[in-house]
Structure 1
Amino acid sequence: MTFKKTSMALFASALLATTLSARDQIKIVGSSTVYPFSSSVAEEFGATTKFPTPVVESTGTGGGMKLFCAGNDIDTPDITNASRRMKDKEFTMCQENGVTDITEAIIGFDGIAISQSASVKAFNVTKAQLALAVAAEVPSTDGKSLIANPYKKWSDIDASLPEREIIVYGPPKSSGTRDSFEELVLQHVFEKMDVYTNLYKADEKANKKYKAYSVIRTDGVYVESGENDNLIVQKLTKNEAAIGIFGYSFLEENKDKVVGLSIDNTMPTAETISSGKYPIARSMFFYIKNSHAKDVKPLNDYTNLFMSEKMIGKDGILKELGLIVLPDDVRSAARTKVMNNEKLTLEALKH
């Protein structure tokens, strides 16, 4: 009898351990920009398979990477969405925590839309003017030093711009959209301006920092508005003087409420983004924790669905949500990587 009880206890313990180490529902975190696309795939997956609809959380790209890279435990996310590529330091964090088998999936393009209420007249702004509007420090009148940003109105930057208050609703530091905006706008503009680099040539470390200047002002002009891009849309409808920064897909979804500004005389459209003409565009990704595939049975099926023509193809479901489709050869290569669970390397991230 004792032997039987012991055997039953061991069996029960093993069964519990199996239950705790396996699940049928996929856990996804990450970018608010990729969230609508990932959620659409999750809903399609739940409706067309025997598995429950995956749980998708909008945590921001940076926040998602931290959760994803925390470890291999079954309670950590299986996938993290990203509106920029994984950083070297995030890859290293994953490796140090045992997350060593990752596949990178690129799903399409997205533009960073600079938008405003549809109720007021839109205007064209250059990338340089946009950078000067949000930077913490700007060149002095003589151009020889950096000073705290004094600009309160767009016309303060250039007389050709509207005499309108500068108020910018944008993403927080944890956002991939914020990272991309800093890189594609601030860094791109300021790395070409000597005033941001010449003052620091005596200090190599400082010089490197200012060569890629991306410090956003904190005097109340730039208002961090969380990871929910729909909140920025709501704020723009209430404050007609303001502009907002978010992914192109949200502009498409809300074109009855907001309109995009022309950047360097180019409007954000599917055509200008996919052609590379629109100057603030980036790729979108998700990252797969391959070590979870053995315990999270639907993981490979979900990722294959995401990368299918049904979802990311020229006539795919996600195109209707604002996804800018990848060229045929790039899309095919991206799909092959996912289907083969190709392991991401630090060297590949650098290219």
Structure 2
Amino acid sequence: MKTLLGAAAALGLLAGASNAHAARDYVWAAGSSTVFPFSTRTAENFAKKTGKKSPKIESLGTGGGIKMFCGGMGEKFPDIANASRPMKKSEFEACKAKGVNNIVELKIGFDGIVVAMDKSSPDYSFKVEHLYLGLGQTVLRGGQFVANPYKTWKDVGAGLPANRILVYGPPPTSGTRDAFVELAIEGGAKKFPTAKALAEKDEKGFKAKVDPLRTDGGWVDAGENDNAIVGTIEKTPGAVGVFGYSFLEENANRIKGAAVNGVKPSAQTIASGQYPLSRSLYIYVKKDQVGVTPGLKEFVAEFVSDAATGRGGYLQGRGLIPLPPAQHEAMKAAAGKLPPMAAPKA
């Protein structure tokens, strides 16, 4: 009798343990607001093709999505992190500390960060140094770092409109913000010998001086909803917005993109790297959840399929700029084999 009771108790414990770690019956992806529309469209097509539950897609910003992804294994944490920049070394280590190993990195395409305004606004033609001088909290003047004194774009550069500096953009959790700071703000600062020398000598010190965006109203954190930024710049005369190229393409009848360093954002200039604010987009996958979360491997395969991210695929219609054919084929092969990534260098 005791043996039977013991066996029953053991079975009860096993059942409890199995329920505690029961798999979700759907895929969960969280992260970049830029990757969000591509991920949701892929989820819709995946559900139609397979008859499985549509994956849950959350827009939290790249940093927020990776943080949640790295929180642990099992059904309480996302299977996929959507990202508009590469995973950082510190994030990879945070994943490892929580038992999140065997992470697979897949590049899905390209995007550009646009600086856009309402159709009725004057045309802007920025240099990256204009963006740094207009939006940095601390900027170089006469070889010294000073609190940003500029009030209008005309103060920043001859030939720019006299509109006041008012830019709506993504918050610190956003990969779009990270990439904009790296490509436009740091890139613009490095055009000045003092800042360039500091970057070469003391990268941390350079970032501390250059990276913070102004908090006096010149830059406004507008949340993770890029469509909301589009609406705001339409309603606010003279305002400028910063967001991913796909939102410019979707709203081309309402807004227009500024040239940066003499180059207008387009699918061609972004894919070639000619447009200076271009970047790659990624998804990060927990290999150890394949076979645990139903449909995970199939969803990843759909994401990198010819139909989705290939030339002429349905995500190109949403504004994704496809990888060159050889890179696309390599990602399809990686989605089949799921090789874990090496630790990032930085």
TM-score for the superposition, normalised by structure 2: 0.93
Q: How many residues align?
A: 344
What's the CA shift string for 1:271-299, capped at 9, x where partnerless? Answer: 11111111100000010011111321211
Report the CA distance between 1:74 and its aligned residue: 2.4
Which residue identity does 1:97 align to in structure 2? Answer: K
Question: Could you say what secondary structure the match of 2:205 adopts?
Answer: helix
Which residue identity does 1:292 align to in structure 2? Answer: Q
Structure 2 gap segments, 5+ residues each: none
Report the CA distance between 1:18 and its aligned residue: 3.4
Give the whole-Å Cα distance in 2 for the aligned partners of 1:119 and 1:137: 31
The aligned counterpart of 1:105 is: 106
Decide whether the 8 Å contact of 1:146 with 1:195 is kept in 2.
no
> Any residues of structure 2 matched to 1:91-240 within 5 Å, and which?
91-140=92-141, 143-196=142-195, 208-210=204-206, 213-240=210-237
User: Structure 1 residues 291 and 23 mapped into 2: Cα distance closer, same or farther (>3 Å)?
Assistant: same
What's the CA shift string for 1:210-250, capped at 9, x where partnerless? Answer: 16832211111100001111110110111021000000001
The percentage of aligned residue pairs carrying the same residue is 40
Q: Which shows bigger deviation, 272-281 or 186-195?
A: 186-195
> Any residues of structure 2 matched to 1:71-82 within 5 Å, and which?
71-82=72-83
The aligned counterpart of 2:305 is: 308
The aligned counterpart of 1:68 is: 69
Report the CA distance between 1:195 and its aligned residue: 2.7
Give the whole-Å Cα distance in 1 for the aligned partners of 2:106 and 2:248: 24
Report the CA distance between 1:255 and its aligned residue: 1.2
Question: Could you say what secondary structure the match of 1:329 adopts?
Answer: helix
Q: Which shows bigger deviation, 93-102 or 29-38?
A: 93-102
Report the CA distance between 1:333 and its aligned residue: 1.1
Question: Could you say what secondary structure the match of 2:74 adopts?
Answer: coil
User: Structure 1 residues 320 and 199 mapped into 2: Cα distance closer, same or farther (>3 Å)?
Assistant: closer
Report the CA distance between 1:107 and its aligned residue: 0.2
The aligned counterpart of 1:327 is: 324
Give the whole-Å Cα distance in 2 for the aligned partners of 1:99 and 1:36: 26
Give the whole-Å Cα distance in 2 for the aligned partners of 1:239 and 1:6: 71
Decide whether the 8 Å contact of 1:104 with 1:338 is kept in 2.
no
What's the CA shift string for 1:158-196, capped at 9, x where partnerless? Answer: 231111111000111110001100111111222342333
Which residue identity does 1:188 align to in structure 2? Answer: G
TM-score for the superposition, normalised by structure 1: 0.92
> Does residue 251 of structure 2 align to residue 254 of structure 1?
yes
The aligned counterpart of 1:241 is: 238
Report the CA distance between 1:115 and its aligned residue: 0.5
Q: Which shows bigger deviation, 161-170 or 2-11?
A: 2-11
Question: 2:314 pairs with 312, 317, 326, which one?
Answer: 317
Report the CA distance between 1:22 and its aligned residue: 1.5
User: Structure 1 residues 87 and 200 mapped into 2: Cα distance closer, same or farther (>3 Å)?
Assistant: closer
CA RMSD of aligned residues (A): 2.2
Decide whether the 8 Å contact of 2:130 with 2:188 is kept in 1.
no
The aligned counterpart of 1:83 is: 84
Question: Could you say what secondary structure the match of 1:57 adopts?
Answer: strand
Give the whole-Å Cα distance in 2 for the aligned partners of 1:170 and 1:148: 21
Report the CA distance between 1:153 and its aligned residue: 0.5
Give the whole-Å Cα distance in 1 for the aligned partners of 2:139 and 2:156: 10
The aligned counterpart of 2:25 is: 24
Give the whole-Å Cα distance in 1 for the aligned partners of 2:254 and 2:237: 11
Decide whether the 8 Å contact of 1:24 with 1:52 is kept in 2.
yes
Give the whole-Å Cα distance in 2 for the aligned partners of 1:114 and 1:44: 31
Report the CA distance between 1:331 and its aligned residue: 0.8
